[in-house]
Amino acid sequence: MIEIAIDTDVCKKDGLCAMSCPRGILEQEEKGTVPKVIDAFLQKCFRCGHCVAVCPHGAISHNVFPEGTVSPIRSDYVPSYDQVLELVRSRRSKRSFKQTPVERDVIEKVLDAARFAPSGHNEQSTEFVVVQDKKILKEISDLTAEGIGKLAGYTRNPIGRFMMRRAMGRRGAAYVTELAPEMEGLVTLHKSGTDWILREAPVLVLFCADSAGGTSMSINANLALQNGALAAEAYGLGCFYVYFVVLASERDDRIARLVSLPETHAIYGALAIGYPRLTYKKWPERNPAKVTWV
């Protein structure tokens, strides 16, 4: 049950809470008046916290955000645009790791950044599975190699290609067909005894959610993953997106079962993490942005 109240003695009647509410639960009928709560909309609240975050006077009380759960922004900690740009320019996919274990509190810092990613309707749907057990990491690599090997095999015969088009659509099937030689090469290398899937990363974080939400759950998970990747970079860790783990998991639930995911859940993102063996001192230019101004 959502409860929102406005302290009329503290309210400065600026209407900021009404302007910020994405659901129209708070309304200021006239400029210079105390906003009011629209009871009919109240239970549709996203629990986003915009109203309590935007009010500089502390006039809003929201039962989802009791005292101690709303913190002031430390403006001196907020990076400038140039600092953010340098971080995203310098972040690279690092696939060579020291075998130094990543401390639990360090992983938790990465996940803390990940959980603050935006999500549709503020669902905060993404859940995290942290895999550090070497035996389980190897099993995930093995299952992934097996899965992408089968998928690559489908591209070699007309029936397999037809089934892929039915399952993935024409463009999706064409993309996998393009990747098939790379996948087959990875499988061959993996069979040689070297972990070419996870690259001996000491940590794998799986970004998961209830599959009932479909595409929105995948979007939420990958927004969280990007937050986590940037936090890992800032903390001196290396990481890379393990797309093939996700691809293999889309058609085979063995990895999900291996890490004890509920049957209702799916893996939407995978991030390998560790202390990097290499340090990059420069960032290379990328293609100019393709922009259409309308």
**Average pLDDT value for the chain:** 95
Q: CATH number of the domain that 215 lies in?
A: 3.40.109.10
Q: What is the pTM of this model?
A: 0.93
Do 201 and 269 belong to one domain?
yes
Do 128 and 145 belong to one domain?
no
Indicate the angle between helix axes 215-234 and 81-90, nearest 10 degrees: 100
Within 10 Å of residue 77's Cβ, how many Cβ atoms? 6
Do 148 and 126 belong to one domain?
no
Do 55 and 164 belong to one domain?
no
Phi and psi angles of residue 106, each rounded to the nearest 5 degrees, phi first: -70, -45
Per-residue pLDDT, 157: 87
pLDDT band at 180 (very low <50, low <70, confident <90, very high): very high
pLDDT digits (tens, 9 = 90+) for 227-253: 999 999 999 999 999 999 999 999 899
Q: Tell me how long the chain is.
A: 294
The boundaries of the domain holding residue 17 are: 4-62
Ranges of H-type helices in the chain: 16-20, 50-54, 81-90, 104-115, 134-154, 158-191, 215-234, 243-249, 254-258
Contacts of 136 (CB under 8 A, 6+ apart): 258, 259
> Residue 126 and residue 120: Cα distance in Å, rounded?
11
pLDDT digits (tens, 9 = 90+) for 89-100: 999 999 999 989
Within 10 Å of residue 281's Cβ, how many Cβ atoms? 5
Mean pLDDT of 283-290: 97
User: For residue 285, is it within any domain?
Assistant: no
Do 207 and 256 belong to one domain?
yes
Count: domains in the chain: 3
Do 172 and 126 belong to one domain?
no
Per-residue pLDDT, 143: 97
Among the ranges given (38-52, 157-171, 249-263), the one the predictor scored with the smallest mean pLDDT? 157-171
pLDDT at 168 over 90: no
Final residue belonging to a domain, choices 151, 172, 191: 191
> Residue 150 and residue 248: Cα distance in Å, rounded?
9
